[in-house]
Chains A and B, each alone.
Chain A
Amino acid sequence: MTGRRQFLGGLIAASIVPKPTWADAGSPAFLSAAARADGRFVLCGISGDLEIRFERPLPARGHAAAAHPTLPEAVAFARRPGTFAIVIDCMTGAQKAALTAPAGRHFYGHGAFSADGSLLFTTENDFEAGRGRIGIWDTRSGYTRIDEWDSGGIGPHDIKRLPGTETLVVANGGIDTHPDSGRAKLNIPTMEPNLAYIVHGAVTEVAKLPADMHKNSIRHLAVGPEGQVAFGMQWQGDGPVSTLVGLHQMGGPMTLMDAPQDDVRNMQGYIGSIAFGADGKTIAVTSPRGGLLQLFDAQAGRLMQSEPLTDVCGVAAIGGQFAVTSGTGEMRQTNGANLRPGTQAALQWDNHLIPIITP
């Protein structure tokens, strides 16, 4: 029979068992999905000096992952239009939970956690309505679905939380798709991407592009220390586009980054990933199609430099510099104006290099 003393003792014991932290998984600074040479897919933890700290199996090719802010666990999303995501214990590689999109929804491949890690927010498609949704999952009860919100647009892709707040910013790419037609884009003539800010389920602000840029799909986001939101776009119109990178801050206008026309064209209409420098002064964007990393001066709003790297896509801030990953297995780091020689893994790094942001 369990007496009161034993019960209390059990409670105390439970509370003094320390919760695992990212340090227990080798203190990785980044996560990235990758394909192995044997055709299998993995999620890797990568240290701040660009060493692989762990390699955990994934059931299929991943897109992005979201790192829990305190617990060493990550949500790995399948490529869109996937209907499931898995939560991986990064210490053991065990699958801790699985997220299944509700009927009539599919994931777009990105997610963000609340500041305390209790909630996960996922970008989703309500494909019968053709409307973007944000799914809300309770991480403390095994990632159960508890609610969903409007995303403020069509085709939400990336989602980030502004630092020090519970405000979410969503890249509504504007492109309507329906899983019955694969990746066919249903509304290019009328697409209208936006950046939507969401506070506790209410869309509090929507920032739009100028009308002549309505075919520039806002896809990926990076947030600066002061809540600046840099966005990378993918051009769905025909012919050259004038810019693929922009900057916004709540309450202000959108600024579009300037670059010489040739440098914009070299990105082939496609930004694959974006990152803000730790000091909020530099924005890094990659184009795997152009095989280029470009660095922008956020304040001046113009291109500073362009560095070639074949099939480069993942990018993240590291110290005062940027780390980049490529589909050829390379990991490199910028050094001021240069891209330093880096490491070569027998892996193909997938789209995104996800920083693990601990409080």
Chain B
Amino acid sequence: MKRIALAIALTLPAISQADPVVDDIIDAHILPTFETLAAQSQTLADVAADDCDPTSDALRDAYGTAFDAWVSASHLRFGPTEADDRAFALAFWPDSRGATPRALNVLIADEDPIANTPADYAEVSIAARGFYALEFLLYDSALMTAGDAAYRCTLIQTVTADIATTSQSIIDDWQTSYAETMRNPGPDGFYRHVEEVRQELFKALSTGLQFTSDTRLGRPLGTFERSYPARAEARRSERSSRHVMLSLAALQDLAARMASEDADLADALDASFTRALTQLTDLDDPTFAAVSAPQIRIKVEVIQQSVDTIRAIVGNELGPTLGVAAGFNSLDGD
């Protein structure tokens, strides 16, 4: 009898803390996302090592595939992505003041030897690292031809190798410790309760939606008076609309898993994502280049409103369902 009581006492905490929603999100959403990012980033670095011609189809294809993997991961901004500012090192954007082309131009003009090895390059200005810097090197007509061709080749190879190293560090952290950290909250843990773990995931969903609405769509939309198509994300590689699509698809998957305990809510969320994605497909404007035309602008605004509708469902319905606080002031963030 005593032994049974002891056994129950020992196993209870573990049972009470296990959260199938969290387990599912880690196993089916987070880990595969970062595994793909690490694998595609390594492929990109390997391709660049063989072929550093910025116009090469092989290099640009590898770049597109790896960048896709990042955008699909870009809402998971906690833990391993934030250690050593890794997410910033992969994705320095938005770049409102043009720090990325400025930093790259200086490196190329000086033929700065810091670009000779990925290890040294990790110390360079964060604006010169990652997928957005690489986009300038592969697609910007000025930077594609600036300075010495051999130096630019080295720079492309180093930037891709740096991306691969950073992406590998993220999945390593997830696999060696962070997944277990999230699965096993406890009084001395990084997360003290299951609620804190759910809150982290909820925050990833809601800030991911906000970023897509305010920044991915909001930058080209500009102000009521004026649109700014040149501010669209990754427009040089014609990936602007694709990034909205990829981010919404990733957030749709996360939202579905978070709402899995409430079928009606899951359906409502799914329908709201599908509506936004359908509107985006119908727009058929890869770079939002036509956003200055009133009849196109209104369509982009409608997509943004659809994303904001998802945000409202997430904030007003999913939050309370998960037991996550969402008050008038707690959501304000100022």
Contact = CB atoms under 8 A, between A and B. Distances in A.
Interface of A: 35, 63, 79-80, 109, 127-128, 130, 178, 180-184, 186, 188-190, 237-240, 262, 265, 270, 272, 288-289, 291, 310-313, 326-328, 348-351
Given A182-B210, A182-B218, A238-B83, 18 more contacts: A79-B334, A127-B96, A130-B97, A180-B96, A180-B228, A181-B96, A181-B218, A181-B219, A182-B215, A183-B214, A238-B82, A239-B190, A288-B328, A288-B332, A289-B325, A291-B327, A311-B329, A350-B329
Nearest to B81: A238
B325 to A, nearest CB: 7
Nearest to B217: A182
Contacts of A127: 96
Nearest to B126: A189
A351 B334 contact: yes
B328 A184 contact: no
Given A180-B222, A291-B325, A350-B329, A186 B96 contact: yes
Given A181-B218, A182-B218, A188-B88, A310 B327 contact: yes
A157 to B, nearest CB: 8
Interface of B: 78-79, 82-83, 85, 88, 94-97, 126, 190, 192, 210-211, 214-215, 218-219, 222, 228, 231, 325, 327-330, 332-334
Contacts, number: 94
Contacts of A109: 334
A95 to B, nearest CB: 22
The 10 A-B residue pairs with the shortest CB-CB distance in the complex, in nearest-first order: A182-B214, A327-B328, A311-B327, A178-B96, A238-B82, A288-B329, A313-B329, A181-B94, A288-B330, A189-B85
B334 A265 contact: no
Contacts of B332: 79, 272, 288, 350-351
Contact of A348 (B96, B126, B228, B328): B328
Given A184-B214, A186-B94, A35 B82 contact: no
Give the interface centre of B78, B88, B192, B327 by most chain A CB atoms within 10 Å.
B327
Given A181-B94, A238-B78, A311 B330 contact: yes
11 contacts: A178-B97, A180-B219, A182-B210, A182-B215, A311-B329, A313-B329, A327-B328, A327-B329, A328-B328, A349-B329, A350-B329
